[in-house]
Amino acid sequence: MRIGLIAMSGVRVRSKELVELGVTLPGFVNRGKVIASLPSLGLLVVAALTPAEHDVTYLEVDVMPETLPDFDLVGISTFSAQADEAYVLADRYRARGAKVVMGGTHASLLPDEALGHVDAVVCGGAEDVWPALLEDAKAGTMRPVYRGANRGFYAEREPVVPRFDLLVGRPYNRITIQTSRGCPLDCDFCAASKIFTPRYEQKPVAAVERELRRVVSLFERPFLEFADDNTFVNRAWSEEFLRMLATFGLRWFTETDVRVADHPGLPKLMYDAGCYQVLIGFESPSAESLAGIDRSNWKAKRRGEYLRAIDTLQSAGVTVNGCFIVGLDADTPGIFEQVNDFVRESGLIEVQVTVLTPFPGTRLYDRLKREGRLLQERFWDRCTLFDVNFTPKQMTVDELESGLRWLFRELYSEQATNRRKRHYVEVVKRLEPAREEPS
Amino acid sequence: MNADRSPEQIIRDVVAAVTLKRTEGFGLDDDLQKLMGIDSLSLLRIVAGIEEEFDVRIPDEELHALRTLRAMLAQVEVAAM
């Protein structure tokens, strides 16, 4: 079969005011551009699971194309914000006689909705079910729902090496590799860990090394982004991983939590292994706002360590991209100034602010629905992380929207962006002489 | 600063050291961010390297504009005056 694997890509923002503001703030669009240009690792795994008898093409769709390449079977992966566009694409392919399969977070959580547009949905990971689905498709016996693996990804299976070769010749700034699935924190608003595994699982270092060898055989000195929710949870694994990674001499970015600064020596190991930046979800500078966002109240308990952790990491040369969410239940209109003050005080070199977003399938969504606080019944195209979809508890929707815009103007102004850039240049100058020797 | 190398070569060496990629094929006016896939942090590392090599300080408001070798050379000349 000719199989097309299509990733819905790009970053969406619906609020007209925010779009207009965003294009004038380079700091705001920067990370968006990076995210928008990341390949879909999930589909590269699906490609690797596809038997060699099939012809596989990998595509990304941001703006809907007028003409579509022909395939016998199409696999589409989408987030909630692009779900409606993915359904239009699926409808077009089905109208041409192709079989259409959908996977990813949104379809996994709402398979019945997706089945209005596709022939089959893969819920969870494609491991175990994709080859069987293809056999069924060939025989004309495809089932509507295939429930893929959601645990034991690495303990019970040999991880496949994603088909990185499908990316060759395309202008990616970063190549993604996954080292773990899930996250031990289980935050109220997070859909990822809930769908893909109820447990936190880490890939054996030898398996990551195998993938790295494949990547460096295909791309000259690639910049890596580890497609993890939380990379550095286990100290022993982290040290083994970083020592292996250092042998490749590459630069990389990943996401983790604040405990990474607890381990003496780990930030230096990260720097020596080529870490440019870690993204940490601090979520809020307000301890009251953090209360209850994860099951064990871990983030609220850790609030007092935020400044020290940022300083520890950045002093070691690992820059921190601090992420904050506004619109949490304890947030008042004063939260915007609090975030702005925290960012200045902390010396964070990069910052991301998003609005609390009730993705379907999360505990947050269920709670807000129960409390009658969702603004619309169906709002997937507004699950952009920048559009408000619920009534906040301590302020109006308008206050949340205008406060977010004010915060963007403050954080991403030329002056604030330049201040953070200069801070980074000075950190590098303190650390680099021993490192940046021409090769 | 190494007297054996021209300012352009020093800058090329800094770019190569940060990006781990060769720069011989790039012209003075090529957009390094586009051609080499350099991200914003790498560009700032290049700035840090240039400031160290030439013992200058590039004005903060110019940091975003250093996307070509020519722009970097121009800033070094201005900063050294």
Looking at residue A82, what DSSP letter applies?
G
- pLDDT at residue number B47: 93
Task: Judge whether residue A434 has pLDDT over 50.
Answer: no
- Is the pLDDT confidence value at B61 over 70? yes
pLDDT band at A148 (very low <50, low <70, confident <90, very high): confident
Angle between helix A335-346 and helix A397-411 axes, rounded to 10 deg: 20
Q: Which are the contacts of A73, defined by CB distance < 8 A and separation ≥ 6?
A: A1, A2, A3, A4, A98, A99, A100, A101, A134, A137
- The interface pTM score, or ipTM, of the predicted complex is 0.91
Q: Helix H segments across A273-413?
A: 287-290, 298-302, 306-315, 335-346, 363-370, 397-411
Cβ(A315)–Cβ(A291) under 8 Å?
Answer: no
Q: B19 to chain A: which residues are within 8 Å by CB?
A: 221
**What average pLDDT score do residues B10-15 get?**
93
Residues from chain A that touch B41, judged by Cβ atoms under 8 A, are 276-277, 319, 424
Q: Distance between CA A76 and CA A352 in Å, rounded?
A: 28
Residue B52 with chain A: CB contacts under 8 Å: 429, 432-433
Percent share of chain A, pLDDT over 70: 94
pLDDT at B67: 85
Higher pLDDT, A104 or A16: A104
Nearest Cα residue in chain B from A276:
B41
With CA atoms as reference, the chain B residue closest to A438 would be B17
Return d(Cα A258, Cα A320) in angstroms, integer.
10
Cβ-nearest to B16 among A277, A429, A438: A438
Which of A409, A366, A408, A369 is closest to A385 using CA atoms?
Answer: A408
At residue A16, does pLDDT exceed 60?
yes
Strand partners, A279: A255, A321
Query: What span, in angstroms and rounded, lies between the C-alpha atoms of A204 and A225?
Result: 18
- Which positions ≥6 away from A272 have C-beta within 8 Å? A242, A246
Question: Would you list which residues of chain A are within 8 Å, Cβ to Cβ, of chain B?
Answer: 26, 30, 34, 171-174, 220-221, 223, 249-251, 276-277, 319, 414, 417-419, 421-422, 424-426, 428-429, 432-433, 436-439
More confident residue, A28 or A113: A113
Q: Would you state the pLDDT for residue A26?
A: 55
Query: Is the CB of A251 less than 8 angstroms away from the CB of B61?
Result: no
Rounded to two decimals, the pTM is 0.89
Please tell me which residue of chain B has the smallest CA distance to A426: B48
Does the structure show a pLDDT above 80 at A70? yes
- Using pLDDT thresholds of 50, 70 and 90, give the confidence band for residue B42: confident
Task: Report how far apart, in Å, the C-alpha atoms of A322 and of each of A129, A278, B29 are.
Answer: 37, 8, 34
Pair of tokens at residue A317: 């040369």
Q: A32: which 2 tokens?
A: 């968006």
Residue-level pLDDT at B41 = 82
Strands A201-202 and A180-181: antiparallel
State the average pLDDT for chain B. Answer: 86
Q: Which residue has the tokens 């705001």?
A: A28
Give the mean pLDDT of A298-326: 95
Distance CA A423, CA A286 (A): 25
pLDDT of B62 reads: 87
Contact A173 B61 (CB under 8 A): no
Give pLDDT, residue A208.
97
Give chain B as a DSSP string: --TTS-HHHHHHHHHHHHH-S--TT--TTS-HHHHH---HHHHHHHHHHHHHHHT----GGGGGG--SHHHHHHHHHHHH-
Give the mean model confidence (pLDDT) for residues A358-375: 95
Helix (H) or strand (E) holding A320: strand A319-326
**Rounded Cα–Cα distance for residues A32 and B4 (Å):** 42
Interchain proximity B19–A221, CB inside 8 Å: yes
Give the mean pLDDT of chain A.
90
For B:23-62, CB contacts with A below 8 A are: 37, 39-42, 44-45, 47-49, 51-52, 60-61
